[in-house]
Amino acid sequence: MKRIVQFVVLGTVLGVILSALFIAVPWFPTEGSQQSKNNYPLFIAITYVSFVIFAVVIVAMGYSLWKFRQRGPSDLRDGSPTHGNTLLEIVWTSIPVVIVVFFGVWAAKVLDDNEAHASNGRVVTVIGYSFGFSYRYNTDGGFTRNDGLYLPVGESVTLHMITPLFTPGTKNLEVIHGFWVPEWGVKQDATPGVIGKTVGTTYVKPTRVGTYQVQCTELCGSGHGQMFFKNIHVMTPSAFESWLTKAKAEAAKEAEASKANPGLAVFNDSGCGGCHTLAAAKATGKTGPPLDDVSADFARAKAQGKTSATDLAGFYKESIADPNKYIAKGYAPGVMPNGFADNLSPKQFDALIAFLTKGAKG
Ligand code: CUA
């Protein structure tokens, strides 16, 4: 009994030292939300308990290895057989029960706090697609931004995760993506078929102004490795208000422009801007080649005999209808999905080509 007390005391001391050393390493990202503020103490408490249990076991095991070692080749003694020890069994069952219940209750409280939000608060739908995120400001008029998520500091926001049914502009069924901002301490999957009202929902109350990175956490295809964007902007309330006013005005202007410019509408509706940069569409995607000037690629494709197009319009047509015929310099094959052209009516396709050709400086 005295020995067991010694193991526990020594193990606890060692466990606390190991935990303190472990926690001294800055594993965690900067605390950027009420959610991560709720999570971190729980993580740290679990670390302490785990290291103490680990150290008690290691101390007892180390002592036994040393104490009951074989003393020379002729030492063939065996320990005396033991039978059950009721007290010991009660103790080693009740300690884990207490630990599990304690952390279970604490974790449930953290989860509950993390989901605390005003039911009439701001709601944003996060659209995860191959390979990007768009943000629809449901409670601010329903406009959609492809250039990142903008939020005011100190205000709880509801984030619904969805995927489009198909990868924008293709006949390919969309796949799962994960929305994760490490500083916020929350992660939520956007799952095809899940509308996002209950299961696909997460909440965040940003507490620190700054620009953060969102990262996709589900292996979603060839573009997964590029599916991270440093475009999560947490702003002061006044900066956010002026951004919102500007964003609403831009959205209204864009809606007008789409009416007047059907090619731009097709470009936006097909999600081209998620992967491509094009000034004429205010698109800033980085997964695929920029579309402002494709004349160098057109020349290269001609030199390599990989295009039969005679002009830029033809080159655009071919690149959309058969994206793997010529791969732009510096990009991987198979990233641009097949089937964009099949998914558009001939009229839409022509409007898109006209728009791209006009937008290009080539
Ligand atoms: Cu989207 Cu990984």
Average pLDDT over residues 72-93: 86
Q: How many domains does the chain have?
A: 3
Q: Ligand 1: which atom is nearest the Cα of residue 131?
A: 1
Give 3-state DSSP helix, strand, coil % of the chain, rounded to 5: 45, 15, 35
> 346 alpha carbon to ligand 1 midpoint, in Å?
31
Residue 97, in any domain of the structure: yes
Same domain membership, residue 203 and residue 153: yes
Residues in a beta bridge with 177: 190
347 pLDDT higher than 80: no
The CB of 177 under 6 Å from ligand 1? The reply is yes
| Residue whose structure tokens are 């680990």 | 54
Q: Ligand 1: which atom is nearest the Cα of residue 128?
A: 1
Residue 254 CA, chain-centre distance (Å), reads 28
360 pLDDT higher than 70: no
Residue 294, in any domain of the structure: yes
Same domain membership, residue 133 and residue 207: yes
Same domain membership, residue 187 and residue 94: no
| Residue 111 confidence (pLDDT) | 92
The CB of 192 under 6 Å from ligand 1? The reply is no
Same domain membership, residue 266 and residue 327: yes
297 pLDDT higher than 90: no
> 211 alpha carbon to ligand 1 midpoint, in Å?
20
361 pLDDT higher than 60: no
362 pLDDT higher than 50: no
> 39 alpha carbon to ligand 1 midpoint, in Å?
25
Same domain membership, residue 215 and residue 268: no
Q: Which domain holds residue 299?
A: 261-359
Q: Ligand 1: which atom is nearest the Cα of residue 221?
A: 2
343 pLDDT higher than 70: no
Same domain membership, residue 193 and residue 219: yes
Same domain membership, residue 219 and residue 272: no
The CB of 190 under 6 Å from ligand 1? The reply is no
The CB of 317 under 6 Å from ligand 1? The reply is no
Same domain membership, residue 192 and residue 97: no
Same domain membership, residue 6 and residue 95: yes
Residue 243, in any domain of the structure: no
Nearest CA to ligand 1 atom 1: 177
103 pLDDT higher than 90: yes
The CB of 227 under 6 Å from ligand 1? The reply is yes
Q: How far apart are CA 37 and CA 183, in angstroms?
A: 10
Q: Are 291 and 356 in contact (CB under 8 A)?
A: yes
Q: Are 59 and 11 in contact (CB under 8 A)?
A: yes
Residue 250, in any domain of the structure: no
| Residue 351 confidence (pLDDT) | 84
Residue 73, in any domain of the structure: no
- Which of 216-225, 227-236, 346-355 comes out lowest in average pLDDT? 346-355
Residue 248, in any domain of the structure: no
Same domain membership, residue 142 and residue 89: no
Residue 76, in any domain of the structure: no
Same domain membership, residue 333 and residue 273: yes
CATH at residue 205: 2.60.40.420
> 202 alpha carbon to ligand 1 midpoint, in Å?
18
pLDDT digits (tens, 9 = 90+) for 306-328: 888 888 888 888 888 888 888 88
Q: How far apart are CA 191 and CA 165, in angstroms?
A: 10
Most confident of 43-52, 162-171, 340-349: 43-52
CATH at residue 349: 1.10.760.10
Q: How far apart are CA 160 and CA 143, in angstroms?
A: 15
Q: Ligand 1: which atom is nearest the Cα of residue 224?
A: 2
Residue 306, in any domain of the structure: yes
Average pLDDT over residues 38-42: 92
Q: Average per-residue pLDDT in the chain?
A: 87
Same domain membership, residue 155 and residue 87: no
Q: Which of 206, 238, 270 is the last residue of a domain?
A: 238
The CB of 180 under 6 Å from ligand 1? The reply is no
The CB of 220 under 6 Å from ligand 1? The reply is yes
